[in-house]
Structure 1
Amino acid sequence: MFTLATAEQIKMLVRSHFESNDDRFRTVVLQIAASEAKKGHQTFARDLRGILDKYYEKNNKIIPFNKELDGLMRTELSDGKLTDLVVNDEIKYRIEKILLEYWQRDKLKKYGLNNRRKILLTGNPGTGKTLTASVLAGRAKLPLCTIVMDKLLTKYMGETSVKLRQIFDFISHNQAVYLFDEFDTIGTERSLDNDVGEIRRILNSFLQFIEQDESDSIIVAATNNPQLLDQALFRRFDDVIHYTLPDREQVANLIRNKIGSYNHKLLSLEQVADEALTLSHADITMACNNAVKEAILNGSGYIDENLIMRMIIERKEVYQRGGI
C-alpha cells in the first residue's frame, strides 16, 4: 500500500510525463530513489538512478533538473576518472578512500558509522580541486552539481541564508556530488576586522545546514584561501585534503598524459619539468594544449621538448607581465 507521499509522487510522475516536463520527471524519480534508499531498499534506489543516468548520458551531458533553484546550480554528468588526476600518492589514496566508503556505505551503516562525504579541498588555484569533484561524481556515477556562488550571494539581508536552505533542501532529496567552489566567499572567519553581521549570519546558516545534513550526497567545498576560513568549519567536514603545485615527476607525468595521444615519441622532460615547477596543473595543461594546437596548425604534427618548453615559458610570462 502506497503512503500519501508516494501517491503524490506518482501523480506528479504521470502529470510531468503528459506535460513533457523532463526536469520535473527526473526530480521526482530522484526523490523516490532517495526515499527508498533511506528505507533500506538500496538495490531498487540504485536501479532507478541507473536508469536515469543511462538515459541522460546517452541523450545529454547537461541535466537541467534544478529549475526550482533559479540558476543557483549547474548540473552535469561527469565521466571523470582517477587517471585524470595527476596528484601525489597521499591525495589519490584519500580520494580512493572516499569512494570506497561511498560504495560500502551500507556496510558501514550496519555498524552505526557513516561514510566520509563532506569534504573540504584547499590549496593553490589550478591544482585539481574542481577536477577532484568531477572525478568523485564520475566514479560514484552521480550528477555533479556546482553551486553558482555569484547567484547565491546577494546584497539583501537574509536572502543568501534562504537560498542556502533551498540548496540543502534540494541536496536532501536529490543524491549527487555538490561542489561549493570558491568556498571562502561564504566561509570567512567570523572574527575578521572586515566582517559584517550578514556574513556571520551566512556562515552560521551554512554551519547549521551542513551539520544537520544526513543525505547520501557527497558535499565538496573548495577554496584557494584556507587561511580565511572560520575554524568552526573544519570540524564540520569529514576530511580535509590540501593540494600543492606539482613536483618534477608530476609535471612530467602530466605532460605525457596531455600529449600522449598526439605524439608517441619518448620525450626527455627533465629540463621542461624544472622550468614548469612554479606552474599549476591547469597552467601546464594549457601549455600542452597550446603545443598540440601549434603542431597541428603548422602541419608538422610533431611535438618535441623545445616546443613544450616554449609554451611553458610563454605561460610563465603571463604571470610575470601581470606582476604576479
Structure 2
Amino acid sequence: MKKADVLDLIKYHFEDNKLEFKNQAIKIARDFDNNGDSQLAQYIMGMMTQVNRFSPQDTTLENNLVQVKLDSKPLPLPTPILDDIKGIINAVNHNIGINKFLFVGSPGTGKTESAKQVARLLNRGLLIVDFSNLIDSKLGQTNKNLTKLFKEINELPLLERYIILFDEIDAIALDRINQNDVREMGRVTSTFLRKMDTLNPEVVLIATTNLFANFDKALIRRFDAVIDFDRYSDDDKVEVAKIILNNYLKQFKDVKKDIRLFKKIIKSAKKIPNPGDLRNIIRVSLAFSDPNDPNDYLKRLMKNMHNGRIPSISNLYKNGFTVREIETLTGISKSTVSRELGDQKYE
C-alpha cells in the first residue's frame, strides 16, 4: 500500500465523497490481499459491508453489486431440485472448476431463494447483480458498464468468500438472432459472452432466468450445469404450502390449525400456484383474518384460491369437502348445508 492511498482515503473522507472513499478502501483491501495479508483485507471488507459497501442509493457501477441478507427460513423444494442443490454444494467444495450454475424456471419457483440457501450452506456472502441498472439508453455505455462490472468481480478481494448472483439476466441474455430488439442489444449479449470467458476461475456464479426458451444458446454453454425449477408436482406444491403455513402459524396464536382442510383448499384450485405465489396468498390470508374467528384465514384462503369467491355448496361437496368443512368455509349451518345437498348426512 502506498502513502498516497492513505492520503486519498483521508481526503475523500473530509470531502464527504462516499463513493470514492468506498472505492479507495476496497483498493487498499485488494492490495493487502494481493500481498498475502488476507486477514487485514477481510477486516477492511467487513467494515465496508457494515457501512453499506454496495449502497443501493449510489447511481454508479458499484450500485450493481448488492450484498444480500441471508436467513435460515425453511425452503421446501421437491426432491429432484433439492438433490441438485446438494450437488452444487458438493461441486463447489470439490473445487475442480465446476462453479457456474444457471437456474431456470417460472417465476415463484424458488430460484433466487435457492441461491441464498446455497450461499448460506457454503458459509459465503451473496452479492447480487441487478442487470436492470446496467442497461443504459446508450447501448455503448451498457457495454462499458458490463466491462467494468466483470473487472470489479474479478478483482474482488477475498473472492472465495462470495457467491455472485446474476438475477434475472434475461435483459441481456436473450437470443441474439431471434430477439425483436435493436441490433445493438445483440452486441451487448456478445460482450457479455466474451466477459463470461474472462471470468476469474475462482468465481462461484449463479444466474437465474424466467425465459429459458429464448435464452442465448451460446451463453447456456458458458454454464457448467442448468437446474430446472419447473419440477413441482401438485403434491409437491401442497406439501410446500403446508410447510409455509406451519412457519407462519408461529406468529398467529388465535387461529385454528386444520391441515386437512387447508390441503383440500390448496388442491381445489384449478391450477395450484407456484411456491412464491402460494407464500404470498397464505401470508395475506392470515394477515387479513379476523382475530375473533379462528377459521377466518381458511375462508380468505379459499376466496384467494378461487378469484375472490367461495364456490357454491354443491361445488364444494363435489370437490370432496365434508358438510362440516363446508360449514366452516361458508358460515352456513350443517343442517342448512345438508338440506341443500338433499339426502346427504352429517359428517
Global fold match (TM > 0.5): yes
State the 1:205 CA deviation.
Answer: 0.4
Which of 261, 267, 279 is the aligned partner of 1:274? 267
Q: In the TM superposition, what are the counterparts of 1:215-230 in structure 2 within 5 Å?
A: 216-230=202-216
Aligned to 1:12: 8
Check whether the contact 1:78–1:137 (CA below 8 A) recurs between aligned residues: no
Partner secondary structure for residue 112 of structure 2: helix
Q: In the TM superposition, what are the counterparts of 1:237-316 in structure 2 within 5 Å?
A: 237-244=223-230, 245=232, 246-263=236-253, 265=257, 267-268=259-260, 269-275=262-268, 278-295=272-289, 299-300=292-293, 305-314=298-307
Q: In the TM superposition, what are the counterparts of 1:173-212 in structure 2 within 5 Å?
A: 173-174=155-156, 175=159, 176-192=162-178, 194=180, 196-212=182-198
Over 3 Å counting, the alpha-carbon distance change for 1:43 and 1:72 in structure 2 is closer
1:163-221 Cα distance to aligned partner (Å, 9 max, x none): 21122122223355444333222112223274653122111100111110107554332
Aligned to 1:159: 141
Check whether the contact 1:259–1:288 (CA below 8 A) recurs between aligned residues: no
State the 1:40 CA deviation.
Answer: 5.6
Q: Which has the larger radius of gyration?
A: 2
Partner secondary structure for residue 173 of structure 2: coil
Matched residue type, 2:141:
E
Check whether the contact 1:180–1:222 (CA below 8 A) recurs between aligned residues: yes
Which of 109, 121, 135 is the aligned partner of 2:103? 121
Residue ranges of structure 1 left out of the alignment (5+ in a row)? 318-324
Distance 2:308 2:42 in 1: 45
Partner secondary structure for residue 288 of structure 2: helix
Check whether the contact 1:30–1:49 (CA below 8 A) recurs between aligned residues: yes
Check whether the contact 1:252–1:273 (CA below 8 A) recurs between aligned residues: no
Q: In the TM superposition, what are the counterparts of 1:57-96 in structure 2 within 5 Å?
A: 63-64=54-55, 67=58, 69=60, 73=64, 75-81=66-72, 83-96=73-86
Give the TM-score normalised by structure 2.
0.70
1:213 equivalent in alignment to 2:195 = no
% of aligned pairs identical? 22
1:130 equivalent in alignment to 2:130 = no
Over 3 Å counting, the alpha-carbon distance change for 1:216 and 1:305 in structure 2 is same
1:72-127 Cα distance to aligned partner (Å, 9 max, x none): 5262441233x44222233334334545655x58xx3xxxx3361x3211101111
Over 3 Å counting, the alpha-carbon distance change for 1:77 and 1:11 in structure 2 is farther
Distance 2:227 2:24 in 1: 34
1:243-283 Cα distance to aligned partner (Å, 9 max, x none): 12453322322332333432573522331331355301121
Partner secondary structure for residue 159 of structure 1: helix
Check whether the contact 2:139–2:185 (CA below 8 A) recurs between aligned residues: no
Check whether the contact 2:238–2:267 (CA below 8 A) recurs between aligned residues: yes
Aligned to 2:218: 232
Distance 1:207 1:31 in 2: 27
Distance 1:47 1:155 in 2: 38
Distance 2:283 2:193 in 1: 40
Check whether the contact 1:147–1:178 (CA below 8 A) recurs between aligned residues: no
Distance 1:144 1:216 in 2: 15
Distance 1:291 1:35 in 2: 53
Residue ranges of structure 2 left out of the alignment (5+ in a row)? 311-347
Distance 1:93 1:283 in 2: 23
Distance 1:101 1:41 in 2: 28
State the 1:236 CA deviation.
Answer: 1.0
Aligned to 1:321: none
Partner secondary structure for residue 236 of structure 1: coil
Partner secondary structure for residue 240 of structure 1: strand
Distance 1:166 1:304 in 2: 50
Distance 1:115 1:231 in 2: 19
Over 3 Å counting, the alpha-carbon distance change for 1:201 and 1:292 in structure 2 is same
Provide the alpha-carbon RMSD of the alignment: 3.6
1:34-66 Cα distance to aligned partner (Å, 9 max, x none): 55555665544444434444x34xxx7x84178
Over 3 Å counting, the alpha-carbon distance change for 1:15 and 1:146 in structure 2 is same
Q: Which moved more, 1:26-35 or 1:161-170?
A: 26-35
State the 1:133 CA deviation.
Answer: 3.5
Q: In the TM superposition, what are the counterparts of 1:44-63 in structure 2 within 5 Å?
A: 44-53=40-49, 55-56=50-51, 63=54
Partner secondary structure for residue 259 of structure 2: coil
Over 3 Å counting, the alpha-carbon distance change for 1:52 and 1:156 in structure 2 is closer
Give the TM-score normalised by structure 1.
0.74
